[in-house]
Amino acid sequence: MKCLLLISALLLTPPGWANLYLYTNLSIELTPDRDRIYPGDSVTFAITVDNPSTVTSNGVVTVRLPEGTTDIISADCIASTTATLLCTLAELSPQSITTLSFTASTPHEGHYKFGAAITSAAFDTDNTDDSDSSIIAVSAQTTTVNTTPVDLAITLSATSETQLISRLASFTVLTSNHHTTNTAVAPVIEIAIPESFAFYTSDTCTASEQVLRCNVESLAPGLSATTTFALNPVSLDADATIQAYATSTQPDQEPSDNETQLLAEIIPAEILCGAGNPGCYGGPAGTDSTIDTPDAVAALVPEPESQPAIAGGGSAPASLSLVFLVLFIYRRRLTGRPH
């Protein structure tokens, strides 16, 4: 009987069982050698791909370049488009780390977001660490230097950490001058927003692509000023990071508090509104992104990532369930209990 059980289990195991070895768990990190440069200067990025699994894998790294990137140099990657680099990794050894690199520059002021993502023919058991990004600040060199030191600091807050699709999200930046004697002359706040948000409005900020530039009035010693802006959530995002930077022509005594970030989560409106309250879905009046029905919101939810198909149909978990069912029936028969 035990031999019969073993044979049954083997027969029920699909021919594609070996595909389980195609499962992997790759991760990627994008690290610049510096995060602030002058226009025309170059920055070198290291791309680190980690394969902690016990099987050999492969992968393709896609690097997203912001508009205006120039002088791209890489021995590991090739240009796919003017905004994309592709880096092919034919073999990633088990429990190994592979490092790639590229160099780029930007000719204009602002904040530029670079991104990298890893994909593989194998099914990744954890795709939350398959992409990474880094923002580079490009500041103009000034011929007239104000050598009077200041001590700027900023904080970034939102009305809620959880935002609803199509419902306006309000944010506030508090800029302070902690210096005891010197005035901070016309500081500027730059805010980098992720692609899951679209700029909506602000009295003091202007938008260029995904970067806001906000002018702040001069701050006397010990004073603060608030900057408010509104964004429109346009896509689901569990990790929407908004970054803010305080810049000045004056030297800062404590630059570590000149930048901050805020993590926001964008979810479908129906999670909080409920299917029986369609009025809760309406977006801000006059916007193009107003969503009126629960079905429209539900359509924005991405399909769950499917597992690789196994020969003979079905998936690996379903096949395992069938094997366990046979074992359960056999055990019941041995104990004499009905099934």
Report DSSP letters for 216-266, one per residue: ---B-TT-EEEEEEEEEE-S-EEEEEEEEEEE-SS-BS-GGGSEEEEEEEE
pLDDT band at 176 (very low <50, low <70, confident <90, very high): very high
Statement to judge: residues 37 and 162 lie in one domain = no
Q: What is the mean pLDDT of residues 141-145?
A: 57
Count of domains for the chain: 2
Classify residue 96: in a domain, yes or no.
yes
Mark which of 270, 287, 304 sits at the end of a domain.
Answer: 287
Q: Are 306 and 300 in contact (CB under 8 A)?
A: no
Ranges 20-29, 107-116, 157-166, 183-192, most confident: 183-192
Kindly report which listed range (23-32, 176-185, 245-254, 282-291) carries the lowest average pLDDT score: 282-291
Q: What percent of the chain has pLDDT over 90?
A: 37
The rounded distance, in Å, linking the Cα atoms of 205 and 193 is 13
Domain match, 160 and 243 both = yes
Mean pLDDT (whole number) for 3-19: 45
pLDDT exceeds cutoff 80 at 298: no
Give CA–CA dist 186/191, Å, rounded.
16
Q: Are residues 75 and 179 in the same domain?
A: no
Residue closest to 278 by CA, chosen among 267, 287, 269, 286: 269
Residue 4 lies in a domain: no
Q: Is 38 helix (H, G, I), strand (E, B) or coil?
A: coil
Q: Is the pLDDT of residue 63 over 80?
A: yes
163 and 267 assigned to the same domain: yes
Residue 69 DSSP label: -
Same domain? For 27 and 105 the reply is yes
Is the model's pLDDT at 59 over the cut of 50?
A: yes
pLDDT above 60: residue 285: no
**Dist CA 308 CA 262 (whole Å):** 36
The reported pLDDT for the residue numbered 116 is: 94
Element (H, E) at 10: helix 2-12
pLDDT in tens, 235-266: 888 778 898 989 888 888 888 899 899 988 88
CATH code, domain with 84: 2.60.40.10
Of residues 287 and 182, more confidence is placed in 182
Taking residues 139-152, what's their average pLDDT? 75
Please, which residues have CB within 8 angstroms of residue 331's CB and are 6 or more apart in sequence?
none
| Contact partners, residue 337, CB within 8 Å, separation at least 6 | none
Does residue 116 fall inside a structural domain?
yes
Domain range for 120: 22-138
**pLDDT band with cut points at 50, 70 and 90 for residue 138:** confident
> Do 119 and 159 belong to one domain?
no
158 and 86 inside one domain: no
Q: Are 235 and 268 spatial neighbours (Cβ–Cβ below 8 Å)?
A: no
Burial of 230 by CB count in 10 Å (0-12 exposed, 13-18 middle, 19+ buried)? Answer: middle
Greater confidence (282 vs 67) lies with 67
Question: CA-CA distance, 299 to 268, in Å (whole number)?
Answer: 9
Q: Which of 96, 114, 138 is the last residue of a domain?
A: 138
The confidence score (pLDDT) of residue 167 equals 86
- Give the mean model confidence (pLDDT) for residues 21-38: 85
pLDDT for 332 beyond 70: no
Q: Are 67 and 106 in contact (CB under 8 A)?
A: no
